[in-house]
Amino acid sequence: MVKATFLNRFILYFYLMNESELIKKAQAGDFEAFSALVNASKNKIYALALKMTANPQDAEDIVQDTFLKAIDNIEQFRGESAFGTWLYSIALNQARAHLAKQKQTDLKPIEDYLPARSAEELHREGVVHLFDWKDPHQKLEDEQLRTIIDNAIAELPAKYREAFLLRYIEELSIKEISKIINESVASTKSRVLRARLALRDHISKALEDKYGTEVS
Amino acid sequence: MGRKCLDYINDLNDYLDGELDPSLCEEIEKHIGHCENCRIMVDTMKQTVTLCREGKPEKLPAALEDKLGGILKARWEKKFGK
Ligand SMILES: [Zn+2]
């Protein structure tokens, strides 16, 4: 029963206090306040770490190290960003360290994702270069589809993967992301776009393959 | 002479995320109406994000969940004392 009471106190803490009060208390040395902040963010940090590394053990290490680093540096948090945003930047630094051995490639330029000829030319000739997937759920099993998506995310170079995940999975704004990854707003925008275009490309090719081999 | 497909690509995310100027949105929608490649591009870019968002939300594995509090508490007490 001890555990349940403990948990109830965390929940009570979390609901009675807003984030900035919890942070103030934590910075003054209140472990329960810090625990409430941990509980509010641990699953999101884990999900991000798992998608970044595609490795559950690495993701667990990242979660643990992120919160340990947060303890070590708690007084350095000045409240210019949300606490969660601060944690994300710590977590991404940890993830980068885990991914340091992987080679960092660049994606092709944005312009290369569309047919090179003009819309007018293509329209006149009635040429379509892009594959229209329609709804892949109609064609593939959920598990097949999941594998395609996970592979596509895993194949993105890390700096694009993190930009994409922060934007569309964690739903942060471009401005928030630019602070976390320490890039200008313009280059953050272009990174997110290139990531999305590259993912689309990868998924499109994989689906075209699969659709081709499915017996209808 | 209208704009080319490639002229729209830099605005694509802003358009899809609803952050583009309405007059530019109108222009893109008009273009999509007669350009099959760009229509497919817009549809599949939308789906790319939808598909990535699917799947159950990940939760911290129970084993780490159980020990995390203790690990953090030890570090906390080292820093702040008991
Ligand atoms: Zn076009």
The predicted-structure confidence for A157-192, as pLDDT tens digits, reads as follows 999 999 999 999 999 999 999 999 999 999 999 999
Is 50 exceeded by the pLDDT of residue B1? no
pLDDT for the residue numbered B8: 86
Contact B76 A64 (CB under 8 A): no
Closest CA to A56 of B60, B70, B54, B55: B60
CATH topology (fold) of A110-211? Arc Repressor Mutant, subunit A (1.10.10)
CATH number of A2-101: 1.10.1740.10
Q: A78-87, A96-105, A131-140, A183-192: lowest mean pLDDT where?
A: A96-105
Is 80 exceeded by the pLDDT of residue A48? yes
Q: How far apart are CA A199 and CA A161, in angstroms?
A: 9
Q: How far apart are CA A200 and CA A196, in angstroms?
A: 6
Contact B4 A72 (CB under 8 A): no
pLDDT for the residue numbered A5: 58
Min Cα separation A181/chain B (Å): 19
Q: Which domain holds residue B61?
A: 3-80
Residue extents of the structural domains in chain A: 2-101, 110-211
Min Cα separation B32/chain A (Å): 10
Q: What are residue A38's phi and psi, to 5 degrees?
A: -65, -45
Q: What is the reported pTM?
A: 0.86
How much is the ipTM here? 0.90
Q: How far apart are CA B71 and CA A82, in angstroms?
A: 24
pLDDT for the residue numbered A90: 96
A35 neighbors B69 (Cβ within 8 angstroms): yes
Domains identified in chain B, total number: 1
Count other Cβ atoms within 10 Å, centred on residue A144.
15
To the nearest whole number, what is the mean pLDDT of chain A?
87
Q: Which chain A residues are Cβ-neighbours of B12 within 8 angstroms?
A: 193, 197
Is 90 exceeded by the pLDDT of residue A10? no
Q: Which chain A residues are Cβ-neighbours of B61 within 8 angstroms?
A: 56, 60
Contact B48 A169 (CB under 8 A): no
pLDDT for the residue numbered A107: 87
